Protein backbone atom coordinates (compact mmCIF):
# COMPACT_ATOMS: atom_id res chain seq x y z
CA UNK A 1 0.00 0.00 0.00
CA UNK A 2 1.32 3.42 -0.99
CA UNK A 3 0.03 6.82 0.06
CA UNK A 4 1.03 10.09 -1.58
CA UNK A 5 0.01 13.30 0.13
CA UNK A 6 -0.75 15.90 -2.51
CA UNK A 7 -1.87 18.74 -0.22
CA UNK A 8 -4.26 19.13 2.71
CA UNK A 9 -6.71 16.17 2.58
CA UNK A 10 -5.94 15.37 -1.06
CA UNK A 11 -4.15 12.03 -1.19
CA UNK A 12 -3.49 9.33 -3.76
CA UNK A 13 -3.88 5.78 -2.46
CA UNK A 14 -2.37 2.84 -4.31
CA UNK A 15 -4.21 -0.19 -2.98
CA UNK A 16 -4.43 -3.61 -4.62
CA UNK A 17 -3.15 -2.31 -7.91
CA UNK A 18 -5.65 0.57 -7.99
CA UNK A 19 -4.88 4.27 -7.88
CA UNK A 20 -7.54 6.12 -5.88
CA UNK A 21 -7.67 9.90 -5.54
CA UNK A 22 -9.24 11.25 -2.35
CA UNK A 23 -10.81 14.70 -1.94
CA UNK A 24 -9.22 16.58 -4.85
CA UNK A 25 -8.53 20.20 -3.92
CA UNK A 26 -6.49 21.29 -6.93
CA UNK A 27 -6.95 25.08 -7.10
CA UNK A 28 -3.84 27.23 -7.25
CA UNK A 29 -2.60 28.79 -4.01
CA UNK A 30 -4.66 31.85 -3.07
CA UNK A 31 -7.48 31.09 -5.53
CA UNK A 32 -10.22 31.39 -2.89
CA UNK A 33 -10.97 33.82 -0.05
CA UNK A 34 -10.46 32.99 3.63
CA UNK A 35 -13.02 30.68 5.20
CA UNK A 36 -15.61 32.87 6.90
CA UNK A 37 -15.71 33.07 10.67
CA UNK A 38 -12.07 32.15 11.15
CA UNK A 39 -9.22 34.02 12.80
CA UNK A 40 -6.55 33.94 10.09
CA UNK A 41 -7.65 36.12 7.14
CA UNK A 42 -5.42 34.75 4.37
CA UNK A 43 -6.54 33.32 1.05
CA UNK A 44 -6.88 29.60 0.37
CA UNK A 45 -5.23 27.30 -0.36
CA UNK A 46 -2.32 28.72 1.60
CA UNK A 47 0.23 26.38 -0.03
CA UNK A 48 0.88 25.57 -3.69
CA UNK A 49 0.47 22.13 -5.17
CA UNK A 50 3.72 20.11 -5.16
CA UNK A 51 3.04 18.93 -8.72
CA UNK A 52 0.82 20.06 -11.60
CA UNK A 53 -2.87 19.41 -11.07
CA UNK A 54 -3.05 17.46 -14.32
CA UNK A 55 -0.50 14.98 -12.97
CA UNK A 56 -2.56 14.41 -9.83
CA UNK A 57 -5.47 12.97 -11.83
CA UNK A 58 -3.37 11.08 -14.36
CA UNK A 59 -3.91 7.32 -14.28
CA UNK A 60 -6.48 7.29 -11.46
CA UNK A 61 -8.93 4.39 -11.28
CA UNK A 62 -11.44 5.95 -8.87
CA UNK A 63 -12.11 9.02 -6.74
CA UNK A 64 -13.50 9.26 -3.23
CA UNK A 65 -15.21 12.50 -2.19
CA UNK A 66 -15.90 12.45 1.54
CA UNK A 67 -18.10 15.58 1.36
CA UNK A 68 -18.57 18.61 -0.85
CA UNK A 69 -16.82 21.37 1.08
CA UNK A 70 -14.56 23.35 -1.23
CA UNK A 71 -11.38 22.12 0.47
CA UNK A 72 -12.36 18.55 -0.49
CA UNK A 73 -13.64 19.12 -4.00
CA UNK A 74 -12.96 22.48 -5.60
CA UNK A 75 -13.65 23.81 -9.09
CA UNK A 76 -10.30 22.73 -10.50
CA UNK A 77 -10.66 19.25 -9.03
CA UNK A 78 -14.16 18.81 -10.44
CA UNK A 79 -12.98 20.05 -13.83
CA UNK A 80 -10.03 17.65 -14.07
CA UNK A 81 -11.57 14.40 -12.82
CA UNK A 82 -12.00 12.17 -15.88
CA UNK A 83 -15.69 11.65 -16.65
CA UNK A 84 -15.17 7.90 -17.10
CA UNK A 85 -13.77 7.40 -13.58
CA UNK A 86 -16.19 6.37 -10.78
CA UNK A 87 -16.55 8.97 -8.04
CA UNK A 88 -17.61 7.32 -4.77
CA UNK A 89 -19.53 9.53 -2.38
CA UNK A 90 -22.15 9.71 0.32
CA UNK A 91 -25.77 9.45 -0.91
CA UNK A 92 -26.50 13.13 -0.29
CA UNK A 93 -23.78 14.15 -2.74
CA UNK A 94 -24.56 11.84 -5.65
CA UNK A 95 -27.03 14.18 -7.38
CA UNK A 96 -24.92 17.35 -7.14
CA UNK A 97 -21.83 15.49 -8.34
CA UNK A 98 -23.72 14.05 -11.30
CA UNK A 99 -24.82 17.59 -12.16
CA UNK A 100 -21.10 18.40 -12.52
CA UNK A 101 -20.84 15.65 -15.12
CA UNK A 102 -19.08 13.19 -12.83
CA UNK A 103 -19.75 9.45 -12.69
CA UNK A 104 -20.93 9.73 -9.09
CA UNK A 105 -21.83 6.51 -7.29
CA UNK A 106 -23.35 6.68 -3.83
CA UNK A 107 -22.07 4.26 -1.21
CA UNK A 108 -25.03 3.47 1.03
CA UNK A 109 -23.19 1.06 3.30
CA UNK A 110 -20.63 -1.02 1.44
CA UNK A 111 -19.63 -1.75 -2.14
CA UNK A 112 -17.00 -3.78 -3.95
CA UNK A 113 -14.80 -2.05 -6.52
CA UNK A 114 -12.86 -4.59 -8.58
CA UNK A 115 -12.33 -6.78 -5.52
CA UNK A 116 -11.68 -3.90 -3.10
CA UNK A 117 -14.21 -3.66 -0.26
CA UNK A 118 -15.20 -0.07 0.46
CA UNK A 119 -17.50 0.75 3.38
CA UNK A 120 -18.93 4.15 4.26
CA UNK A 121 -18.75 5.02 7.97
CA UNK A 122 -19.93 7.92 10.15
CA UNK A 123 -18.05 11.16 10.75
CA UNK A 124 -18.89 14.29 12.74
CA UNK A 125 -17.46 17.60 11.57
CA UNK A 126 -17.24 19.34 14.96
CA UNK A 127 -19.63 19.71 17.87
CA UNK A 128 -23.20 20.83 18.42
CA UNK A 129 -24.66 23.40 16.07
CA UNK A 130 -21.39 23.72 14.15
CA UNK A 131 -21.38 19.98 13.35
CA UNK A 132 -25.00 20.18 12.25
CA UNK A 133 -24.25 23.11 9.96
CA UNK A 134 -21.25 21.34 8.39
CA UNK A 135 -22.98 17.97 7.91
CA UNK A 136 -23.14 15.61 6.16
CA UNK A 137 -19.67 14.10 5.95
CA UNK A 138 -18.58 10.47 5.76
CA UNK A 139 -15.48 8.41 6.39
CA UNK A 140 -14.59 5.33 4.35
CA UNK A 141 -12.86 2.01 5.06
CA UNK A 142 -10.95 0.42 2.18
CA UNK A 143 -10.21 -3.15 3.24
CA UNK A 144 -7.99 -2.47 6.29
CA UNK A 145 -7.39 1.26 5.70
CA UNK A 146 -9.59 3.73 7.58
CA UNK A 147 -10.06 7.11 5.93
CA UNK A 148 -11.51 9.08 8.81
CA UNK A 149 -12.22 12.30 6.83
CA UNK A 150 -13.29 15.55 8.50
CA UNK A 151 -14.26 14.35 11.96
CA UNK A 152 -13.48 14.86 15.60
CA UNK A 153 -13.05 11.90 17.93
CA UNK A 154 -16.44 10.64 19.10
CA UNK A 155 -18.19 7.35 19.78
CA UNK A 156 -18.82 6.46 16.13
CA UNK A 157 -15.10 6.78 15.31
CA UNK A 158 -14.27 4.47 18.20
CA UNK A 159 -16.96 2.03 17.04
CA UNK A 160 -15.64 2.09 13.47
CA UNK A 161 -12.15 1.18 14.65
CA UNK A 162 -13.47 -1.59 16.88
CA UNK A 163 -15.61 -3.02 14.06
CA UNK A 164 -13.14 -2.93 11.17
CA UNK A 165 -9.84 -3.21 13.09
CA UNK A 166 -7.89 -1.23 10.46
CA UNK A 167 -4.12 -1.52 10.35
CA UNK A 168 -3.81 2.01 8.88
CA UNK A 169 -5.80 5.15 9.71
CA UNK A 170 -5.57 8.40 7.78
CA UNK A 171 -6.78 11.25 9.98
CA UNK A 172 -7.48 14.88 9.12
CA UNK A 173 -5.53 16.49 11.92
CA UNK A 174 -5.10 20.18 11.18
CA UNK A 175 -6.86 21.34 14.34
CA UNK A 176 -9.24 23.40 12.19
CA UNK A 177 -11.73 25.64 13.94
CA UNK A 178 -13.84 28.76 13.65
CA UNK A 179 -13.72 31.64 16.11
CA UNK A 180 -16.37 29.82 18.15
CA UNK A 181 -17.50 26.23 18.57
CA UNK A 182 -14.30 24.25 19.13
CA UNK A 183 -12.43 21.93 16.79
CA UNK A 184 -14.07 20.72 13.59
CA UNK A 185 -11.39 18.12 12.77
CA UNK A 186 -8.97 16.21 14.96
CA UNK A 187 -6.38 17.85 17.17
CA UNK A 188 -3.57 16.27 19.17
CA UNK A 189 -5.78 14.66 21.82
CA UNK A 190 -8.08 13.16 19.19
CA UNK A 191 -5.18 11.74 17.19
CA UNK A 192 -3.72 10.24 20.37
CA UNK A 193 -6.91 8.20 20.83
CA UNK A 194 -6.54 6.82 17.30
CA UNK A 195 -2.88 5.98 17.94
CA UNK A 196 -3.91 3.93 20.97
CA UNK A 197 -6.09 1.73 18.74
CA UNK A 198 -4.56 1.57 15.23
CA UNK A 199 -1.04 0.31 14.39
CA UNK A 200 -0.21 2.94 11.74
CA UNK A 201 -1.63 6.47 11.82
CA UNK A 202 -1.03 9.02 9.06
CA UNK A 203 -1.96 12.67 9.64
CA UNK A 204 -2.98 14.96 6.77
CA UNK A 205 -5.14 18.08 6.25
CA UNK A 206 -2.48 20.34 7.74
CA UNK A 207 -1.10 23.82 7.00
CA UNK A 208 -2.89 24.40 3.66
CA UNK A 209 -6.03 26.22 4.86
CA UNK A 210 -6.45 29.41 6.83
CA UNK A 211 -8.46 27.77 9.63
CA UNK A 212 -6.00 24.89 10.31
CA UNK A 213 -3.85 25.89 13.26
CA UNK A 214 -2.05 22.65 14.25
CA UNK A 215 1.30 22.47 12.50
CA UNK A 216 3.11 19.35 11.36
CA UNK A 217 6.00 20.17 13.67
CA UNK A 218 3.70 20.41 16.69
CA UNK A 219 2.01 17.10 15.93
CA UNK A 220 5.32 15.31 15.33
CA UNK A 221 6.66 16.61 18.64
CA UNK A 222 3.56 15.54 20.56
CA UNK A 223 3.06 12.14 18.89
CA UNK A 224 6.34 10.89 17.37
CA UNK A 225 4.81 7.62 16.15
CA UNK A 226 2.37 9.40 13.84
CA UNK A 227 3.43 9.66 10.20
CA UNK A 228 3.10 13.29 9.08
CA UNK A 229 4.08 13.50 5.40
CA UNK A 230 5.09 16.64 3.58
CA UNK A 231 3.21 17.72 0.49
CA UNK A 232 4.29 15.52 -2.42
CA UNK A 233 5.75 12.82 -0.16
CA UNK A 234 4.97 9.14 -0.72
CA UNK A 235 4.77 6.62 2.12
CA UNK A 236 4.99 2.86 1.66
CA UNK A 237 2.75 1.38 4.35
CA UNK A 238 3.30 -2.16 5.58
CA UNK A 239 1.70 -4.11 8.40
CA UNK A 240 2.61 -2.16 11.52
CA UNK A 241 5.40 -0.20 9.83
CA UNK A 242 5.97 2.42 7.19
CA UNK A 243 8.83 3.69 5.08
CA UNK A 244 9.61 6.04 2.23
Nearest in space to 122 (alpha carbons), one of 147, 97, 98, 144: 147
Residue 239's pLDDT band, with cuts at 50, 70 and 90, is low
pTM of the model as a whole: 0.96
Does the pLDDT of residue 81 top 50, yes or no?
yes
Per-residue pLDDT reduced to its tens digit, 134-164 = 999 999 999 999 999 999 999 999 999 999 9
Beta bridge partners of 109: none
Q: Which residues pair with 140 in a beta bridge?
A: 120, 147
Inform me whether the pLDDT recorded for 241 exceeds 70.
no
Sheet holding 168-172, edge to edge: 110-113, 116-122, 138-142, 145-149, 168-172, 200-204
224 exposure class (CB count in 10 Å sphere: 0-12, 13-18, 19+):
exposed
pLDDT band at 244 (very low <50, low <70, confident <90, very high): very low
Domains and CATH numbers, the chain: 2-243 (3.60.15.10)
Per-residue pLDDT at 234 exceeds 70: yes
Residue 21's pLDDT band, with cuts at 50, 70 and 90, is very high
* Of residues 58, 27, 12, the one with CA closest to residue 233: 12
Residue 117 has pLDDT above 60, yes or no: yes
pLDDT of residue 243: 45
Q: What is the pLDDT of residue 114?
A: 87
Cis peptide before 45 (omega within 30 of 0): yes
Q: Could you tell me which residues come within 8 angstroms of residue 188 by beta carbon, excluding any fewer than 6 positions away?
A: 173, 175, 214, 218, 219, 222, 223
- Cα–Cα–Cα angle for 178, 202, 233, nearest 5°? 100
Residue 52: pLDDT over 80: yes
100 vs 77: CA distance, rounded Å:
11
pLDDT tens digit string along 166-194? 999 999 999 999 999 999 999 999 999 99
What is the rounded average pLDDT for all residues in the chain?
A: 96
Amino acid sequence: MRLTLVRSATVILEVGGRRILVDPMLDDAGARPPIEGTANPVRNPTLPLPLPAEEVVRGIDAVIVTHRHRDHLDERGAELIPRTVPVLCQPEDEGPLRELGLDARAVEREIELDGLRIARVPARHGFGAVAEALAPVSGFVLDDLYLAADTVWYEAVEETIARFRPRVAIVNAGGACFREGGLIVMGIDDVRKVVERVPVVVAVHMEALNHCFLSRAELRAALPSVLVPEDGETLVLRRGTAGD
